[in-house]
Amino acid sequence: MAKKPTAPAAPSAATSSGAVSPETVLREPAEKRYADQLEALRQNDTETPPTNWKLSPRSVLTYVIGGKTLKATIGGKSVEVPITRKFFGDDGVVERSIVTLASERALLLVGEPGTGKSWLSEHLAAAICGTSLLTIQGTAGTTEEHIKYSWNIARVIAEGPTAQNMIASPAMIAMKGGALLRFEELTRCVPDVQDALVSILSDKAVAVPELPGDAMVFAKPGFNIIATANTRDQGVNELSAALKRRFNYVYIPIVGDQKTEVKIVQQRSAELLERYNLPAKLSPPVIELLATVFREIRNGKTSDGVSIKKPSTTLSTAEAIGVALDAALHARFFGGGEVGPADIARNMVGAVVKEDQEDKVALKEYATVVAKKRGAKDKSWKEFHDALVEQL
């Protein structure tokens, strides 16, 4: 196990295209990170995009689900740009989302935490209107001003309310530009605040009574809202009937099959490790083991049909990516660099056992009932079992 750690790789000088360099920004927005792919899709678009959309609906779909390689001229050079898959799962979900965004209604992505709702929303916004940054994060402290507008108080005192002294919210900026507003965790906002959206969605305008002459800000074509909500928070602040009617609900399920989950964890952890300037050494068998453990504990049933305890936390794909990344960092800093089943086990406990210590029991049961038995025949499972038991 104790191999000599190799020195971390020197930071690569190469930067992906776009104005923001990965060396100065920890996380680039999708429209910067995938600027080449978006540009290639634009150059190859054969259909007319809806008003103020950057791409046609078909190209937006291709951007999200990937699977094509396009010829394009980027930076004066003729290149082939592979379009990668961003969102894994049912392509019908993506199609319905795109159709909704072109319609009168707004889009609400609902599902368990960590199923990729924010991820999908970011990519849709990036592909459709070129920016994913017009975002409101819904919290218990979100106020109507965050949704509509506020004022530069000092200047209002000095000069009175004028259009220049108004601070537009991301929603208002999106309306003026015919862009998409992302509203994260909509159901965390109190009902009064949610209701501020009703007028925006039905009138497609915001009145500013403080300004002289009954000023109104009207939305341009292309304006729409992509909201997300966690099913676990549903009880917090249910959407009012008025608002429900103005949203199309698209349910995002937890990834159903193991193969897809392995692919997501593989691709996303490789991308994230690149961000940390660490060469990815997550081998497919290790990711498969991680995905198997997650799937079995999440379902409360092993692949051989044995019932096991389920923990209270949702073990989403996002959690699996987190464990893979932690395990890789752990192996890199304190091990030999190669991620083994033991690294997965060590970083697994924190993902499963959160606020409820009872969940430890579920993990213990999994170790003794499932992992130990498999360990008798398989070296990887033995390593996993031994390291897991040590942590519990």
Ligand X SMILES: Nc1ncnc2c1ncn2[C@@H]1O[C@H](COP(=O)(O)OP(=O)(O)O)[C@@H](O)[C@H]1O
Which residues bind to Mg ion, rule: CB under 5 A? Answer: 118
CA distances from 75 to 36, 82, 307 (A): 10, 16, 57
341-352 vs 317-334: helix crossing angle, rounded to 10:
130
Identify any residues that bridge with 82 across adjacent strands, giving them in sequence order.
Answer: 69
Q: Which of 32, 117, 146, 385 binds ligand X (CB under 6 A)?
A: 117
The least CB distance from residue 277 to Mg ion, in Å, is 26
Q: Is 97 in the site for ligand X (CB under 6 A)?
A: no
Q: Is 268 in the site for ligand X (CB under 6 A)?
A: yes
CA-based radius of gyration for the chain: 24
Q: Is 33 in the site for ligand X (CB under 6 A)?
A: no
Q: Is 295 in the site for ligand X (CB under 6 A)?
A: no
Q: Is 333 in contact with 5 (CB distance < 8 Å)? A: yes
322 C-beta neighbours (distance < 10 Å), count:
19
The least CB distance from residue 322 to ligand X, in Å, is 8
Amino acid residing at 165: N
Q: Is 317 in the site for ligand X (CB under 6 A)?
A: yes
Q: Give the pairing of strands 149-151 and 68-74.
A: unpaired
332's CB contacts (< 8 A; 6+ apart) are 5, 8, 278, 281
Q: Which region among 84-92, 146-154, 194-202, 217-225 touches ligand X (by CB under 6 A)?
A: 84-92
* Shorter beta-carbon distance to Mg ion: residue 118 or 313: 118
The least CB distance from residue 198 to ligand X, in Å, is 24
CA distances from 367 to 317, 348, 386 (A): 21, 12, 9
Q: DSSP of 77-92, one letter per residue?
A: EEEEEEEPP-S-S-HH
311 binds, among ligand X, Mg ion, none (CB under 5 to 8 A by kind): none
Enter the tokens of residue 91.
């392509």
Q: Is 315 in the site for ligand X (CB under 6 A)?
A: no
The span from the CA of 70 to the CA of 45, in Å, is: 10
Q: Is 131 in the site for ligand X (CB under 6 A)?
A: no
Q: Is 56 in the site for ligand X (CB under 6 A)?
A: no
Q: Which of 264, 290, 342, 388 binds ligand X (CB under 6 A)?
A: 264
The least CB distance from residue 126 to ligand X, in Å, is 14
Q: Is 237 in the site for ligand X (CB under 6 A)?
A: no
Q: Is 234 in contact with 187 (CB distance < 8 Å)? A: yes
* Shorter beta-carbon distance to ligand X: residue 295 or 385: 295
The least CB distance from residue 231 to ligand X, in Å, is 10
Burial of 192 from C-beta contacts in 10 A (0-12 / 13-18 / 19+): exposed
50 binds, among ligand X, Mg ion, none (CB under 5 to 8 A by kind): none
117-129 vs 35-44: helix crossing angle, rounded to 10:
50
x/- contact string, 240-259, with ligand X (CB under 6 A)? ---------------x----
Q: Which of residues 351-380 bind ligand X (CB under 6 A)?
A: none
Nearest residue to 33 via CA among 44, 23, 20: 20
Q: Is 308 in contact with 302 (CB distance < 8 Å)? A: yes
Q: Which of 114, 311, 340, 341 binds ligand X (CB under 6 A)?
A: 114
The least CB distance from residue 267 to ligand X, in Å, is 8
The span from the CA of 191 to the CA of 226, in Å, is: 18
* Shorter beta-carbon distance to ligand X: residue 261 or 359: 261
Q: Is 228 in the site for ligand X (CB under 6 A)?
A: yes
344 backbone dihedrals φ, ψ, rounded to 5°: -65, -50
The least CB distance from residue 165 to ligand X, in Å, is 35
Q: Which of 88, 223, 381, 384 binds ligand X (CB under 6 A)?
A: 88
Which residue in the shown chain puts its C-beta closest to ligand X? 116
* Site for ligand X, rule CB under 6 A: 87-89, 111, 113-119, 228, 255, 264, 268, 317-318, 321
